[in-house]
Structure 1
C-alpha cells in the first residue's frame, strides 16, 4: 500500500530520469595517486562512461569557491578553453601528513568526474604551493570517444531510493547516502537510518533554510555480516564499500580506501556528494572535501557525526578542535594561511577573512578561557583513552562525551565573548598559531550549531550546485 508521499517521490524520480535523457553522459577518470611524504606521482587507470547521465547544473561548470588542496580542470585540447573545474582534497593528501609517509610509499585510487565533452580535452590536476596558489602537478589528454574508454558499465539492478527529493537533479545539490555493513535483512534499517539522519541535517542551519535546494538519495549493497571492520579490536568484515575504522592508526577515523568499489556502486544514482553510513555503534566517522564523508549510524552521537563530517566533505570546513589526538603530524613553525574558510593564521588582522562579521572594537586575537578549557580537555582525553584501551561499553563513551560538552558549554557561557565573532586561538589541530571565529561551533565540539562563518562557507557551496 503506497501513501501519497511515496507516490509523489516516485513521480519526482521518474521526472528526474526523464530530465537525465536530455543531459550529457558522465565521464569518470580513474587514476592512481602514489608517493611518500615528499613526493607524489599520478598514473592513468581507465576512463569510464558511467551508468547515469550527468546530473549537474551545466550553467555552473566552473568552480569559483577556491576550496580544496587540489583543483582539477577540463580544457579544450586545442583552444585551452576551460570547460569544467572543481576543487577537492584527497585521502592521499591526508596520508601524506602522517608519520608512515616518512617511511614508505603508498598508492591510493582516486577519480575525477565531469560531463562528457564533445571534443578531445586536456585534464589537469593542480595543487596549492607554499603561497597557497594552485600549480599544475599532472596533466593527461583524453578523448572520451576512444576505443579503450569503458562505455558499458557492469549491469546492475541497483536503484536509488528517494529520501528527500525536491526536483530536477540539475537544479539541486544531489547527496547520495550509501550504506555499508548492512545485511539483506537490515536493508529497511538502512533506509530508516538514512531518513532519520537526513531529517536531522535539515534542522541545522543553513541546511534548514536551504532544504528545498537538496535531493537526497539512498543506495546500499547488502553484506554477509553486519557492521564494518575495526582492526584494532580484531574485527574484520568484508563489506561492499570497504569502509573501516582505524584509518591511519586513528581508532575513530572511518574511511574507505577502495575508491573503485565506491564509484562502481555510486554511479547508479545522481550525486555530487556522498555520505557513507556504517552500520556500527562505535563512535567514528571521517570526511574528505569533494570525496565523501562517513558516520557510524548506530552511535548515540550519529546526528552530530553525520553533520560534522558532512561539513568537511561538503564545504571543506576545517576541524576547529585541537586537543583530540589525530593521525596527522602537526606543530610546524610556519603557519600558512589555511584555504579552509573557518580557520585563520591571523597574519594580518586587517585582512581577516570573516571581518564582515567582526564588530568594531573587538580585540584580535580574542580572549577566551583557553587555559581552563585545556586543563579540562587533558583530563577528558585521558579518560577517553582509558575507556577505549579497556574496551568499555560504548554507552560509557557516549556519557563521557555528554559530560564533556556540558562542562565546556558552562565554562564558555560565562565568558563575555561567548557570542562574539572574533579570532579565538586554538584550531586546525593546533593550540597556537591558528584561530577560529567563535568560541563554540559544531566544528569545534559536539554542540548543535555551526558558527556564522561556517554557515557562510556552506551556503557558498549550496549556491555553486543549485538555483
Structure 2
C-alpha cells in the first residue's frame, strides 16, 4: 500500500470511527492518588478530566458481572443511589503491597478510573476485596462533571493513532490500543510493522481467532530520542513518554510503567478499553495488570508468546500457572480462594470453579 493510500485509509477509518461514536456520551476520567504500605492505604482526589474522545464502550453493558480483580469501581447517582456503571480491576499498588519494600516503607501511585459521562452528580466508590473475598468500599468521593475545575481542554495529541484493524463502531467492539515506548521518530515504521505482526499472530490463535471480528486495534507511539526503554539493573536509563522500564519491584524481567498519568494522557487520544505497551527492546520481559495494561518486549524470539500471554493477564484476569515470581505470590501464609478464573486453592475436584 502506498503512503498516500495508507493515509487516506487511516483518515477514512478514523472519521468512520468518530461518526460511529457520535451518539456516545463523553468519557470521564478520575485521576486519584493511592498511597500506603503493607498495612494501610489512603486515597485522594487529583483531578477530573473530560477526555477528547467519546466513550468507547457498549452503553447497554455498563455493569460488570465478572467478579474478577482485587478492586472495583462503582459509579452511582448521588441522589438516588442508582448504580450507573461498575468495572473490576487490579492495580500496580496492589502488587507492590506484596513486596518486602511495602513492609518497611510507604509509597504513592497515581491511578485512574474511566466511565461514561453522567447527566447528574455521582458518587464514585472504590472497592477492595476483603478477607471474606467480597468487595467492600475503601474510598468514596462525589463527582460533578459540570463544575468549573473539571479539565475540558488539553494539548493537541502528541501522536496520531494508526488504525490496524477496524471491525466496526467502537461501542460494538473491543478496542485494543497498542502503545509503543522507546521508539525513535525514525523507528515509527518499525513500530507499525511490529504491531501488525503481533496482532496477526494473536488473531491466529484461540480464543482470539474465533472472535477476531469483535476487536478493533489501534496503534500509537510518541517518539523518543533514544531506542529502547530503561533497564536499571544494567545501568541503562532512557527517557520515554510512558516511562516503561524493566526491573519493576526488583524483578529483572518485570516490565511496567508506574507513571499512570503519562499513560492516560497519551492513551486518551485513541479509542480504547484495553492497552498493551510494546517496548522497543530485545531482552525478554513483560507484565500484565488486570484491567490496567499489559507490556511485552517486542524484539525477541518470544515476542509472539509474550504479547498474547501478558494480554491474558490484563484482558481476562488470568493468573500465571507456574511459580517463579517473588512478587505475585508472596502471600505470607494461608491464601483465600483466588479470584482468577484459572487457578484455585481448593483440593476438592467437585468444588473447582472450572468443573
TM-score of the aligned structures, taking structure 1 as reference length: 0.74
**How far does the alpha carbon of each residue in 1:31-64 deviate from its partner, in whole angstroms, 9 at most, with x for none?**
0000000111000000000111111110110000
Q: In the alignment, what sits opposite 2:183?
A: 182
Provide the C-alpha distance between the structure 1 equivalents of 2:239 and 2:284, rounded to a whole number of angstroms. Answer: 20
For residues 28 and 21 of structure 2, the distance between their equivalents in structure 1, rounded to whole angstroms, comes to 14
Please give the alpha-carbon distance, in whole angstroms, between the structure 1 residues aligned to 2:342 and 2:70. 15
Q: CA deviation at 1:19?
A: 1.7
Alignment partner of 1:147 is 2:156: no
SS of residue paired to 1:50: strand
Moved more, 279-288 or 341-350: 341-350
Q: Which has the higher contact order (CA 8 A, sep 6+)?
A: 2
**Which residue is equivalent to 1:343?**
343
Measured after TM superposition, the shift of residue 332 of structure 1 is: 3.7
- Tell me if structure 1 keeps the 8 A contact 2:278–2:295: yes
Is the aligned partner of 1:166 residue 2:170?
no
Deviation (angstroms), 1:325: 3.8
Map 1:255-266 onto structure 2 (within 5 A).
255-266=256-267
Give yes or no for contact 1:317–1:342 (8 Å, CA) kept in 2. Answer: yes
2-structure distance, mates of 1:6, 1:208: 27
Larger Rg, first or second structure (1 or 2):
1
What does residue 291 of structure 2 align with? 290
Q: Report deviation, 1:23.
A: 1.3
Larger helix share, 1 or 2: 1
TM-score by length of 2: 0.97
Which range moves more in the overlay, 204-213 or 18-27?
18-27
Whether the aligned pair in 1 keeps the contact of 2:99 and 2:330 (CA below 8 Å) is no
Give the equivalent residue in structure 1 for 2:98. 97
Q: Which residue of structure 2 aligns with residue 16 of structure 1?
A: 17
Answering whether residue 290 of structure 2 is matched by residue 253 of structure 1, we say no
Deviates more, 1:200-209 or 1:1-10: 1-10
Counterparts of 2:289 and 2:350 in 1: how far apart (Å)? 31
Aligned counterpart, 1:330: 330
Structure 1: tracts of 5 or more residues without a match? 356-467
Once the two structures are TM-superposed, the CA of residue 8 in structure 1 deviates from its matched residue by 5.5
Distance 2:237 2:3 in 1: 39
Runs of 4+ aligned structure 1 residues displaced above 4 Å come to 2-10
Higher strand share: 2
SS in 2 for 1:263: helix
Cα deviations across residues 246-282 of structure 1 (Å, max 9, x unaligned)? Answer: 0000000000011111001000000000000000000
Which aligned pairs between 1:50-65 and structure 2 lie closer than 5 A? 50-65=51-66
Instruction: Work out whether residues 129 and 135 of structure 1, in 8 Å CA contact, stay in contact via their aligned partners in 2.
Output: yes
1:353 — aligned with what?
353
Instruction: Report the 3-state secondary structure (helix = DSSP H, G, I; strand = E; otherwise coil) of the residue aligned with 2:127.
Output: strand
Q: Is the 8 A contact 1:12 1:167 kept in 2?
A: no
> How many Å separate the matches in 1 of 2:309 and 2:346?
24
1:293 deviates by: 0.3
Q: Secondary structure at the match of 1:255?
A: coil
Contact 2:10 2:162 survives alignment (8 Å): no
Q: CA deviation at 1:204?
A: 1.4
Relative to 1, partners in 2 of residues 1:207 and 1:258: Cα closer, same or farther, differing over 3 Å?
Answer: same
> Cα deviations across residues 114-161 of structure 1 (Å, max 9, x unaligned)?
000000000001111111100011000000001000011222253210
What SS does the corresponding residue of 2:276 show, helix, strand or coil?
strand
Q: Find the aligned partners of 2:278 and 2:71 in 1 and give their Cα distance.
A: 26
Q: What are the residue-to-residue correspondences of 1:398-437 with 2, within 5 Å? A: none
Cα RMSD of the aligned pairs, angstroms, is 1.5
Superposed displacement of residue 4, structure 1: 7.6
Corresponding residue pairs, total: 354
Please name the residue that 2:272 is paired with: 271
SS for the counterpart of 2:283 is coil
Q: Can you give the 5+ residue segments of structure 2 that lack an aligned partner in the other structure?
A: none
* Alpha-carbon distance between aligned partners in 1 of 2:87 and 2:245, rounded to the nearest angstrom: 27
- Counterpart residue number, 2:196: 195
